[in-house]
Amino acid sequence: MEYEITAEDKDATYVVLPAYNEATRIQPVIEAIAEKGYNMVIVNDGSSDNTLDVIMQSKKKYPDQIHVFSLLINRGVGVATQTGFDAVLKFNPKYIVSMDSDGQHSADDLDDVIKPLVTGEAEAVIGVRPLKDMPFTRNFANAIMNLLTRIFYRVDVSDSQTGFRALTLDALNKISINATGYLISSEFIREINDNDIPFAEVPIETIYTPETQAKGTNVVVAFKILLQMIKHQF
């Protein structure tokens, strides 16, 4: 019989949401996660719009489930996620998830993503986006990034640039993330591999809109990640 995620499992799970200028998109994301019964650590990455106000509006509705931290200035998705991973330790979580806050990930996938952690099947999970759902330019950039992750970090995964990941507290304590920008996705995979953390890939739904399209891994970002990967070799 398949394991069903319980309320206790959800209570022991914290979702880290880095948010940069997501005022128009973040509210449904937060509230969908809260409705599912999960806790959240939201890190406002020095947004110049009213993202923080929007987050606080949601916090009023779910005061116990939402914890908010705010970077004074924009430092990139990597630093925001690192801050979230550090902040989450204050709440003694068992499972930690990180998700994008722009609405491209569905809260409905949370149960599936933490399931391998709860059942002990894996200590880290990456949510894999089906390639067929991805627009061509993204697909191409991701294929390059998967190849680069294979060359530089010697790990073969089907989606190296996913922002949807989950790990146990033990695994979180083992890994060390230094990337400040989008390199974090590849670095996360490298750390899991280097520390021999058992990991699983779980297929997730990805919702692409023109707005989410504007962010994330395009060819320019892919090139920047390549430069950082080369730098990290030294």
Partner 1 sequence: MFLYAFIFPIISIIAIVWFVARYLKGKNSLTTVVLWTIFWIFVSIFSIFPEVSTRFASMFGITRGLDFVIILVFVILFYTVLKLYFIVDKMQNDLNKIVKEVALNNEITLEDEEE
18 within 8 A of 48, measured Cβ to Cβ = no
Among 11, 32, 62, 70, which residue sits at the site for partner 1 (rule: CB under 8 A)? 70
Q: Which is nearer to partner 1, 87 or 200 (CB)?
A: 87
Among 1, 63, 132, 210, which residue sits at the site for partner 1 (rule: CB under 8 A)? 63
Q: How far is the CB of 71 from partner 1 (least distance, A)?
A: 5
Regarding 87 and contact with partner 1 (CB under 8 A), the answer is: yes
Q: What is the DSSP annotation of the chain?
A: ------HHHHHTEEEEEEESS-TTTHHHHHHHHHHTT-EEEEEEES-SSSHHHHHHHHHHHSTTTEEEEEESS---HHHHHHHHHHHHGGG--SEEEE--SSS-B-GGGHHHHHHHHHTTS-SEEEEEPPGGGS-HHHHHHHHHHHHHHHHHH----S-TT-S-EEEEHHHHHH------STTHHHHHHHHHHHTT--EEEEE--B---HHHHHSS--HHHHHHHHHHHHHHT-
45 within 8 A of 19, measured Cβ to Cβ = yes
Site for partner 1 in 111-170 (CB under 8 A): none
Q: Which is nearer to partner 1, 18 or 163 (CB)?
A: 18
Regarding 71 and contact with partner 1 (CB under 8 A), the answer is: yes
Q: Which is nearer to partner 1, 71 or 226 (CB)?
A: 71
Regarding 65 and contact with partner 1 (CB under 8 A), the answer is: no
Among 59, 115, 129, 190, which residue sits at the site for partner 1 (rule: CB under 8 A)? 59
Regarding 82 and contact with partner 1 (CB under 8 A), the answer is: yes
Q: Which is nearer to partner 1, 73 or 220 (CB)?
A: 73
Q: How far is the CB of 60 from partner 1 (least distance, A)?
A: 6
Regarding 233 and contact with partner 1 (CB under 8 A), the answer is: no
Stretch near partner 1 under the rule CB under 8 A, chosen from 78-86, 95-103, 117-125, 150-158:
78-86
Q: Which is nearer to partner 1, 50 or 137 (CB)?
A: 50
Match 């390549």 to its residue by tokens. Answer: 226
Give the integer Cα–Cα distance in Å for 19 and 204.
20
Question: Which residues here bind partner 1, judged by CB under 8 A?
Answer: 43, 46, 52, 56, 59-60, 63, 67-73, 75, 79, 82-83, 86-87, 180
